[in-house]
Structure 1
Amino acid sequence: MKTCTKCKQLVSKDRFTKCKRNKDRLNYWCRDCCKVYVQNNIIRIKKYRKENYQANIVQKREYGRKYYQIHPDQMRRYRLQYNLDNVEPIKMQRRNSKKRKVYMLRYSQENRPKLNAWAAKRRAALLQRTPRWLTPEQLQQIENFYINCPKGMTVDHIIPLQGEYVSGLHHPDNLQYLSPKENSIKGHRCLGIDGRFDFEVENKC
């Protein structure tokens, strides 16, 4: 038996979810209290989980990869059971696969700047160059910078994310517009003294 710190009721231990951080490996709240809390805070919880995943995407994927390597049989059983429990949704998904491909192609064509911003954010996260202290406003500034990119131009990191000696951050103040040719010539090199890359100088970062 265990006392729930939320409702103060003494209930069976099987009424608690697991929690590795706690000494007894069980949550402080019983399942019923947790369920009520989630129902009352579903929007805030979803927002937190999304932000937390984006801020720790590399670590979470690495954890998932290692977990699969350690528990391959358990993961296979889970997938098999999932397929058995979701026969109709899976069939529907397969039937609509062509429609979904057409939709995704059209969406990617109509939202290319936004997708470029997401792709850059993902690359920066993989390189661990996105600061955790970025505010929601700064993240939106980055996305807007990609969305507002002039036609025929590309978004470039002033100080490259993969510079030879100096690496920049995925931050609004580290973005600039360059032509594809300028961006290609610049490569992983830094700016000149005037704040813009000197295409006549071959000094690397």
Structure 2
Amino acid sequence: MKKLLLLIFTLTSLKAFSQFEGSKQIYEAKDLKEAISTQKLVAILPFETKITYKKQPKNYSPEGNHQQELAMAKNIQSSMYTFLLRKKNDYSVDFQDVDKTNILLKKSGILDKLDEYTKDEIAKILGVDAVIGGKFEQEQSKSEAGAIASAVLFGGFGGKTGSGTLTMTVNNGSNGELLWRFFKTMDDSVFSSTDDLIERMMRKVSRNFPYRK
């Protein structure tokens, strides 16, 4: 009986997971192919990140939460660079080292206020042909302890701690025009890292990624 209940729960979880993971949207500009045909170097910006809670933790600190958002923004940026670098032979462009990107942004005094500048202004500062940016919004719905308990109880299922939406964009460096946009809803497991998050997202993106040869 226990095995039957576990099997039913597992199948239900997998169905729900596949439905949740299936929510995505892709936009391509009409002149996408023409625009990227001459591009050679692309920069990856820190992702705008927002972390919220359905129920605020007891020891919640606005400043601590903000620092966590800043750290995640750079972690996503770094994870994406690592993924693209690992498969660089599959792409028609090179990607600027994210450390160089962040140093140039910091020297220009805009690292913490990217939303006040247009994408073509940022591209000019970085000396690149296009910029990859995006936004990640995460809502925590279950405590870490509760997620671990669920995962142990159900043999690896039920460890979902929240949900999020991830948007990835490519903007032309010459005029700031939006060339490509990918939107995806993601679940967030207590066992997931930003590397896992980007790996999962880029697997979904790969066939539609504009720089793929």
Which of the two has higher C-alpha Rg?
1
Q: Which has the higher contact order (CA 8 A, sep 6+)?
A: 2
Alignment TM-score, normalising by the size of structure 1: 0.21
Higher strand content, 1 or 2: 2
Alignment TM-score, normalising by the size of structure 2: 0.20
Higher helix content, 1 or 2: 1
